[in-house]
Structure 1
């Protein structure tokens, strides 16, 4: 069933049981009166009218032409939906999602079977809503998501604080402060806007009050009950994104209910992601939906459990348009065989279980080590991706192999074991797996971070015993990688990874016992090479009217006089008008992180957003500013939102909070 005509319902109101109306945009195949169709829901806070319209218009017409309705709904309090958002993946959000599925299944055009899909937020809540078992939900596709909200999202990673926590809180403060579209909601638009401005939360305050893996983070983490997850899940991610662990964790936890697909991509849908090669996501998804939403026997359940792109020595670059490599399949995923490396007497990284080492080494990295880390989740294949690691290796303890005599292929999560000591309750340890090219260029393959007090788990940290050698195990992020002959494998250890990872309370440094160190890399093992088709349309995103051009800048400034390093991010989307709605929007983000390389309490982050919407000479604007700093015992947060109509400010709100810092 292909090439079916369809219509687009620009705005449909879905009324929830509490009377709140949520706004939906629907791509509806023709002929549903005689032949009801399945539907796919995407449920997001990112504004269907302007925020995600381009990617929606690159995806849902393809579904509708295949006879599958697409239902794109704004979460409560976002876009044109009524109410106020109450947080991230909250019980109310997931309950709303279940109600929407019930509404879809009851429509006369529906065959009663619903799928749920999304990337990032929508990928998260697809899995989370599925775990609630709404009867009409039959399958999900989850892209760039997580099964563990504490360890594989933008908040914390093995007890370390991620700077993305401020970045994301600032983004959501800006997004949720924007006005609904007066054209769709009518005269109530300003009343709705004021309700949001007055009542929206500053997410950072809540996140910082849960610094350990407590019930707040267990909620929505489907790894808490893999056995109870009821339906098939296609789980997709990219090696260039922060959510690369999820496909492996999903198939390990869900077994045959899950299929994994991992490409070279940043945080984007696979049919328009970078770096290339892309994947024909529309065909992939339509096959999945046809199997589970209309019982078509197309062998989707026979897909290999793991399909992965094995990177073949990509180089850091100003822009990575295409990464070398090949697609492989493993029909059944099993725990990989590990190849071990240790430290030889000359300080090199040696294959085998070497226990020679070079004795104890004290390591205390400059606090600005990490400026080549890129973003936790990457939206563009430029400086958001990890750069040449030689910059960060200068502040790290490094061990590397001789040039490899033959290529070595790996797929899975590397594991580092070693004994360390420090003189306070905790410190951060960062490990990076690096591919050293023959000319010295160093490409990051994988990394892992650990707050040492969380070495035995994230719910109940245990302080380090002062100056006592303690065994720790650090599991690095998943990778699919070929180290070419003539390249070297490098292990880089540091106690800082700023600004991605915020410094520990006292930054004491660590004593590393090199004789105890063991690095285990997951061998690719049995596999077969496959072809993953690329999309027929090389540029599926629609083109809108650009009134100004986008700008991107990312700079590092080391003030040698004041002894301060500044890391600055500037993003301007340009003023872009949708040709059908006449609505023109522009978002400008300026984020500045600062630190003195020897003082962990000097850290500050400030993120400022300006969001503009214009139509027919009517201008609306919000300016939001979010700030995070610290002492040894406290996190200091502040936020400010200002709203303007025709450049006249009519609203201002200030958030200020000091939150006790978990010293473990």
Structure 2
């Protein structure tokens, strides 16, 4: 069937300012009458999505791969993210007028292509019938920083989209090259603001972005505002993954839309996938393996969605409820009415120790009652190279960066290498199987003796054989402990309350005999911007500004530090199962 698709290169799409975008049009001669049309707007050169275009065209939908302004054969200058809204709106309205289109237009795409869909939808093009944003980032939430902590990865991405031609080979296929580049820069102690030049690609975009180090008006211009979300009423299907590096952004868009447009049709799918797997699910990635049910045919789901929303087809049978989520370990799908309804209860496990939580064996504990005893502490010297050589050696083409602090979900090498310079707490073994589904939260009472520092917090499952699986991760820069839009340097030595509330979503059936491991430590990694703890402008600081910080974590009755575990909803089989078992 795909052999009968007609391909037309060099289609020119006029924009309101006289610029023309270049597109490739895919059509099936077997479907001659006007049909709903689909397009993707991409900076990655349209040929990247040839296979997807052939698939949809062979099923009767005219499909266009459109190079964004300034990339490929499109005219104009490329400015990442800022130009796509109006340009995409113009593409929608132009496409609706073509003879092969019946006036109904949809968008397709993941990552940058998912972001574009939200950007276009906020302008309410009259002929936009539906969007399917996949792994859609939300700028300043997961791109190009998380919780106001920048990623060196952004320079790598800017190299991919520099100029008009594709730089895909150096970007996608040479993980070791980039790891070594990041390691050398990390070890140099140079200011973060020089990273682009150090990597050989001086970038005005990089300099502009790092000059806005916190969430605020600058970053707000890239994302829909509440009033924009409230007006978007077209059907939406959001797709993300448990280990998708853009999961925080995808779920931010989802939450803000359903909050501001509660009656708009919006479905959410959270699968057992990493970033690339949200387009094509992969059986194995990052040291873990996905069951048969997780290998969902996402192209088929898209096709059924477009048929339902634009061609009077039946509702996709997979979408049994507004939210579908995959329970890893159980290897099956479950459903809920809302994202929050996935979690039945957040159960607190209180941190406790005898002052020796810096060790993995004989660590601190996670217990059901408020902890007591001496506080725990570690020292962090930013001049220490930490695990830089180790991280550079653990390269993986299916890496999870930048959202997760590892490239292998089951590897414990970094945790053990950091022993003595972090705090570790373990729960008792679970006395029965339990589904953990939702968002962890950590309340920690912490004192530091410097104006600022960065924390990384990871939660792992440790099974009864000692094998480890990273479940979720969060991070925080101390100066933003109160508000990501306002910095407040630490000026007191007493313990302050830190709320880690931005963990990634996880859903997993944890088996009897397994336990949880909580690790709290410095964010001293080649994959994150280094904070030298002095309280200055982080991008301007170098190793010359470095200060050693002493971190103390308290867990007594006056300072009840606790990890809140999201327990999944029970599956009722009758009245006798109407309450949660006491498993933690």
Mapped partners of 1:238, 1:388: distance in 2: 20
State the Cα distance separating 1:353 from its structure 2 match.
Answer: 4.0
Contact 1:21 1:82 in 2 (8 A): yes
Mapped partners of 2:424, 2:389: distance in 1: 17
SS of alignment partner, residue 213 of structure 1: coil
Match of 2:555 in 1: 514
Q: 1:218 aligns with which of 191, 199, 220?
A: 220
Deviations 1:39-71 (A, max 9, x none): 11100111124xx1xxx2332222122221111
Q: 2:377 aligns with which of 349, 358, 361?
A: 361
SS of alignment partner, residue 113 of structure 2: helix
State the Cα distance separating 1:95 from its structure 2 match.
Answer: 0.8
Distance verdict in 2 for CA 1:129–1:200, change over 3 Å: farther
Q: Kindly indicate whether residue 265 of structure 2 is the aligned counterpart of residue 257 of structure 1.
A: yes
Higher share in strand: 1
Distance verdict in 2 for CA 1:355–1:269, change over 3 Å: closer
Deviations 1:218-245 (A, max 9, x none): 1232364432333222111222321223
Match of 2:476 in 1: 450
Mapped partners of 2:423, 2:164: distance in 1: 41
TM-score of the pair, normalised by structure 2: 0.76
Contact 1:131 1:230 in 2 (8 A): no
Match of 1:481 in 2: 508
Match of 1:132 in 2: 123
Contact 2:96 2:103 in 1 (8 A): yes
Contact 1:4 1:64 in 2 (8 A): no
Contact 1:144 1:236 in 2 (8 A): yes
Match of 1:75 in 2: 68
Distance verdict in 2 for CA 1:412–1:249, change over 3 Å: farther
Contact 1:22 1:80 in 2 (8 A): yes
Match of 1:63 in 2: 56
Contact 2:45 2:165 in 1 (8 A): no
Distance verdict in 2 for CA 1:269–1:240, change over 3 Å: closer
State the Cα distance separating 1:14 from its structure 2 match.
Answer: 1.2
Match of 2:11 in 1: 12
Match of 1:396 in 2: 422
Distance verdict in 2 for CA 1:46–1:498, change over 3 Å: same
- After TM superposition, the structure 1 = structure 2 runs for residues 459-538 of structure 1, keeping only pairs within 5 Å, are 459-475=485-501, 476-506=503-533, 508-515=549-556, 516-526=560-570
Q: Kindly indicate whether residue 327 of structure 2 is the aligned counterpart of residue 310 of structure 1.
A: yes
Match of 1:228 in 2: 231
Deviations 1:256-283 (A, max 9, x none): 5321112222222546332344211122
Mapped partners of 2:310, 2:392: distance in 1: 39
Mapped partners of 1:220, 1:301: distance in 2: 32
Contact 2:135 2:278 in 1 (8 A): no
State the Cα distance separating 1:520 from its structure 2 match.
Answer: 0.6
Distance verdict in 2 for CA 1:369–1:57, change over 3 Å: same
Match of 2:192 in 1: none
Contact 1:330 1:527 in 2 (8 A): no
Mapped partners of 1:21, 1:241: distance in 2: 34
Contact 2:159 2:167 in 1 (8 A): no
**Unpaired runs of at least 5, structure 1:** 180-198, 313-323, 530-664
Q: 1:164 aligns with which of 148, 153, 163?
A: 153
Mapped partners of 2:12, 2:163: distance in 1: 25
Mapped partners of 1:227, 1:59: distance in 2: 31
SS of alignment partner, residue 132 of structure 2: strand
Mapped partners of 1:371, 1:514: distance in 2: 34
- After TM superposition, the structure 1 = structure 2 runs for residues 166-315 of structure 1, keeping only pairs within 5 Å, are 166-173=155-162, 202-222=204-224, 224-225=226-227, 226-255=229-258, 257-268=265-276, 270=278, 272-274=280-282, 275=284, 276=290, 277-298=294-315, 303-312=320-329
Mapped partners of 1:168, 1:331: distance in 2: 36
Distance verdict in 2 for CA 1:95–1:527, change over 3 Å: farther
Distance verdict in 2 for CA 1:174–1:108, change over 3 Å: closer
The answer to which of 363-372 and 73-82 deviates more is 363-372
Contact 1:328 1:528 in 2 (8 A): no
Deviations 1:290-333 (A, max 9, x none): 12222334367964222122222xxxxxxxxxxx7322222444
What RMSD in Å do the two structures reach over aligned CA positions?
3.1
SS of alignment partner, residue 309 of structure 2: helix
Contact 1:159 1:211 in 2 (8 A): yes
Contact 2:84 2:120 in 1 (8 A): no
Q: Kindly indicate whether residue 139 of structure 2 is the aligned counterpart of residue 149 of structure 1.
A: yes
**Unpaired runs of at least 5, structure 2:** 169-200, 259-263, 285-289, 355-362, 401-405, 534-546, 574-584
Mapped partners of 1:500, 1:413: distance in 2: 23
The answer to which of 252-261 and 406-415 deviates more is 252-261
SS of alignment partner, residue 292 of structure 1: helix
Distance verdict in 2 for CA 1:372–1:125, change over 3 Å: farther
SS of alignment partner, residue 565 of structure 2: strand
Match of 1:40 in 2: 38
Mapped partners of 2:116, 2:10: distance in 1: 22
SS of alignment partner, residue 144 of structure 1: coil
State the Cα distance separating 1:4 from its structure 2 match.
Answer: 11
SS of alignment partner, residue 516 of structure 2: strand
| Structure having greater relative contact order (Cα 8 Å, sep ≥ 6) | 2
Mapped partners of 1:8, 1:119: distance in 2: 22
Distance verdict in 2 for CA 1:509–1:100, change over 3 Å: farther
SS of alignment partner, residue 555 of structure 2: strand
Q: Kindly indicate whether residue 436 of structure 2 is the aligned counterpart of residue 410 of structure 1.
A: yes
Mapped partners of 2:272, 2:297: distance in 1: 14
SS of alignment partner, residue 286 of structure 1: helix
Mapped partners of 2:525, 2:202: distance in 1: 30
